[in-house]
A and B are shown apart, each in its own frame.
Chain A
Amino acid sequence: MKHRTFFWFFLPTGLAMLLFIALPIISVVTQSLYAPHEAVLSIVENCGPFGCKEETTVDQAATEALRAAEPLGRFVGLEIYLDRGHLAVQEVSQLWASEPTWSSFFSRLGNLPFYRAMSFTVTYVAVVTPMVIILGLMIALAVNSLHRHLKGLVIFFSLLPFIVPPLIGSLILFWMVDSRGVFGTFLQYLSGDPNLSLKASTALTWIMLMVYGIWHSAPFAFVIFYAGLQTVPQDTIESAVIDGASRWEQTRYVVIPHLMPLVTFVALIQLMDNFRVFEPIVGFKSEAHATSLSWIIFNDLGGETRLLSSAATTSVLTILGVAILLSPVLVRTWRDFNAKAH
């Protein structure tokens, strides 16, 4: 295809992505370097019957004028990145100096909003991604050995947790694990503690969110692996059987290696999706115990005071996180591409 034709074909989608993805990224980076204007104060002399007093008032007109003239705010460089709400460099170095042990250092670090969100996000990604792959693989292997009339039915019900909006899925589970809900009651019965509430404990909240994450994403891994199982080379299985491989050995040395590229694919998609974990935190109302990077941005943007600069700074830090997460994949793709070219 000629460059010219390509250009016209690609223009609509390219323009959409340029205007609403690329430019916003630039806009976010710029915004993160500016802080909102402070109110302009003016000192007025106020004279009454008991003499004159100097009073400081907010000059509304001048403040408005300044905000209108420079809507971005005042340039502060990296100041917002280093403040308490984000990287908190000062606080961290103080903690580093004052805390004697690693564990006390990390527990104090967990009080700073950014690190608190970061620790949950990273734990969530690190736990949910492998669990989804393992559970998905198990379901796929089990379903594949079912009678074929049952397969369609199982796939239908399996897709439901994956297909519903994450907020709705988490609400459905949240109502069930509520201490008055069916699952909450069951847990109270199991533990023998009639006052057990998943919402009250940090550890249980984390587990609950991760269980939700696995429940939500396992169908995705299942469907992918299930499709992969349909293309397992039967000849290799035959010869493995002839060589005396047990059922487990067939799975371990023939089926799983065959599925390996799919595992990489599922891992990649899951890393990207789990890193943006957000809706469950709203659905489970868990912000007292667990927050994520996306949730901080949402929280800053919402409400009456829209903290645009603060949200922009967290956004940039999140984008950097995504870049670090994806870099191995990108490097590999680049190598593959070069290898193909030569």
Chain B
Amino acid sequence: MSTSLARRQPLGLRIALYAFVVIWLILAAFPFLWTLWGSFKVELDFFSLSNWTDALTGPRTEAVYGKPFTGAGYEGAWVQEEFWRAVLNTSIVCFCVVCISLTFGTLGGYALSRSGYKYVFWLLIIALIFRALPQITLVSGYLQPFFAWNLWGILPTTIIVLVAINQPFTLWMLHSFFTKIPIELDESAKVDGCTQFQAFRHVIIPVMWPGVITTGLFSFLLAYNDFAVAAMLLSEENRTMVPAIAAFLGTTQTEGNVMFAVAAVVSATAPLFVLVMFFQRQIVSGLTAGAVKG
């Protein structure tokens, strides 16, 4: 880009901008790096009364384990507290939620984008209202029937609830995505004798993947990040990661256990780190897809 003289930034502004970005970067990234580093220390180093640099150098960790790093927090969390169970549960829940909610959402979003009737508007508005409801308000409605029908505490119940909570957002996103696919594509397929479903199956499905992958990322994040629903609807052995970490906090009075929670938090953040690394473009485009349209 050739910058004209009139639009070149003066040096002072340039420095100010860089300084601001650097400060923001530190604010955004430093807590994660700090916690990652500290998770390999003992509690008395990470939460040091005498000197904050202990968390960096780890003198007490060295005194106990002979070297300034220790995996004791991870061992405690994963083996002693069986955090692997929560990881497994989260994987199951996330996988099922993403698959089911994309299947439902694709069909529904496609129908909404191809129908010109007035109820489409109302369905989208209702979805928006549902999106606005705090999830915890719905949970108080689930408990009574789930207890009565013996559905409480198991993974499938939570999966279907998360799918339902996920639907409004998925519908909005896929609706705006499908509207961008020209309707002429399925019209011409129908002229050639396809039914609506065949047109969807043979013409739309092959071209829909970019939008579906983006939406899937957000479904995944919703299922992964959920605390209110999983904490209320799952029994102890079926807990997913976030409620499991919350449960660690209740039992952290004895020394060392806080580090279990720190290690678990780092373990739960790591997959997201990788996710952002690989799918940054999709996440950004997904966030903006709703906005640019609305």
A337 CA to B103 CA, complexed, in Å: 29
Q: How many residues of A contact B (CB 8 A)?
A: 100
Which A residues are CB-close (under 8 A) to B276? 156, 159-160, 163
The residue that A21 contacts in the complex, of B9, B18, B25, B138, with Cβ under 8 A, is B138
Which A residues are CB-close (under 8 A) to B13? 247
Nearest Cβ distance between residue B55 and chain A, in whole angstroms? 6
A316 CA to B137 CA, complexed, in Å: 8
Nearest Cβ distance between residue A198 and chain B, in whole angstroms? 14
Which B residues are CB-close (under 8 A) to A213? none
The residue that B164 contacts in the complex, of A21, A219, A297, A326, with Cβ under 8 A, is A21
Nearest Cβ distance between residue B200 and chain A, in whole angstroms? 8
A17 at the interface (CB under 8 A from B): yes
B235 at the interface (CB under 8 A from A): no
Of the candidate stretches B60-68, B74-82, B109-117, B205-213, the one touching chain A is: B109-117
**Which residues A12-36 have CB closer than 8 A to chain B?**
12-14, 16-17, 19-28, 31
B225 at the interface (CB under 8 A from A): yes
Report yes or no: A166 in contact with B25, Cβ–Cβ below 8 A.
no
A31 CA to B143 CA, complexed, in Å: 11
A161 CA to B245 CA, complexed, in Å: 18
A181 at the interface (CB under 8 A from B): yes
B125 at the interface (CB under 8 A from A): yes
The residue that B144 contacts in the complex, of A71, A138, A215, A272, with Cβ under 8 A, is A71
Q: Which label, helix, strand, loop or mixed, suits the secondary structure of the A interface? A: helix
Which B residues are CB-close (under 8 A) to A223? 284, 287-288
> With A167-B246, A181-B47, A337-B121 in contact, do A17 and B164 touch (Cβ < 8 Å)?
yes
Report yes or no: B141 in contact with A315, Cβ–Cβ below 8 A.
yes
Whose C-beta in chain B lies nearest to the C-beta of A214?
A: B27
The residue that B137 contacts in the complex, of A161, A261, A315, with Cβ under 8 A, is A315
A203 at the interface (CB under 8 A from B): no
Which B residues are CB-close (under 8 A) to A127? none
The residue that B280 contacts in the complex, of A12, A17, A159, A312, with Cβ under 8 A, is A159
A23 CA to B161 CA, complexed, in Å: 12
A218 CA to B262 CA, complexed, in Å: 24
Report yes or no: A182 in contact with B52, Cβ–Cβ below 8 A.
yes
For A265-307 the 0/1 string (1 means CB < 8 A from B) is 1100000100110110010010000000110011011100010
**Which residues B139-184 have CB closer than 8 A to chain A?**
139-145, 148, 160-161, 163-165, 167-168, 170-171
Report yes or no: B225 in contact with A6, Cβ–Cβ below 8 A.
no
Nearest Cβ distance between residue A243 and chain B, in whole angstroms? 12
Nearest Cβ distance between residue A292 and chain B, in whole angstroms? 9
Nearest Cβ distance between residue A49 and chain B, in whole angstroms? 46
Of the candidate stretches A55-63, A74-82, A87-95, A172-180, the one touching chain B is: A172-180
A50 at the interface (CB under 8 A from B): no
A31 CA to B144 CA, complexed, in Å: 9
Which B residues are CB-close (under 8 A) to A261? 294
A196 at the interface (CB under 8 A from B): no
Report yes or no: B161 in contact with A172, Cβ–Cβ below 8 A.
no
Report yes or no: B225 in contact with A166, Cβ–Cβ below 8 A.
yes
Report yes or no: B167 in contact with A16, Cβ–Cβ below 8 A.
yes
Which A residues are CB-close (under 8 A) to B273? 160
Which B residues are CB-close (under 8 A) to A5? 111, 196-197
B108 at the interface (CB under 8 A from A): yes
A204 at the interface (CB under 8 A from B): no
A22 CA to B168 CA, complexed, in Å: 12
Whose C-beta in chain B lies nearest to the C-beta of A247?
A: B13
Which B residues are CB-close (under 8 A) to A186? 52
> With A21-B138, A301-B143, A337-B121 in contact, do A16 and B104 touch (Cβ < 8 Å)?
yes
Which B residues are CB-close (under 8 A) to A185? 52
Nearest Cβ distance between residue B197 and chain A, in whole angstroms? 8
Report yes or no: B133 in contact with A21, Cβ–Cβ below 8 A.
yes
A145 CA to B20 CA, complexed, in Å: 12
B216 at the interface (CB under 8 A from A): no
**Can you sample 11 A-B contacts with CB below 8 Å?**
A14-B108, A21-B164, A25-B137, A27-B141, A145-B17, A154-B21, A156-B277, A181-B52, A182-B34, A262-B292, A294-B137
Additional pairs, 17, CB under 8 Å, beyond known A227-B288, A298-B231: A1-B115, A6-B111, A19-B164, A139-B20, A154-B25, A156-B280, A160-B29, A163-B275, A165-B225, A168-B269, A172-B32, A181-B46, A228-B292, A279-B228, A282-B227, A300-B140, A315-B136
**Which residues of A does B touch, CB under 8 Å?**
1-3, 5-6, 9-10, 12-14, 16-17, 19-28, 31, 71-72, 138-139, 142-143, 145-146, 152, 154-161, 163-168, 171-173, 175-176, 178, 180-182, 185-186, 215, 219-220, 223-224, 227-228, 231, 241, 247, 261-262, 265-266, 272, 275-276, 278-279, 282, 285, 293-294, 297-298, 300-302, 306, 308, 311-312, 315-316, 318-319, 322-323, 325-326, 330, 333, 337
**Which residues of B does A touch, CB under 8 Å?**
6-7, 9, 13, 17-18, 20-21, 24-25, 27-29, 31-32, 34-35, 38, 46-49, 52, 55, 103-105, 107-108, 110-112, 114-117, 121, 123, 125-145, 148, 160-161, 163-165, 167-168, 170-171, 196-197, 200, 221, 224-228, 231-232, 242, 245-246, 249, 261-262, 265, 268-269, 272-273, 275-277, 280, 283-284, 287-288, 290-292, 294
- Ranked 10 nearest A-B pairs via Cβ: A24-B141, A20-B164, A9-B111, A13-B108, A276-B134, A227-B288, A315-B137, A165-B225, A180-B47, A27-B141
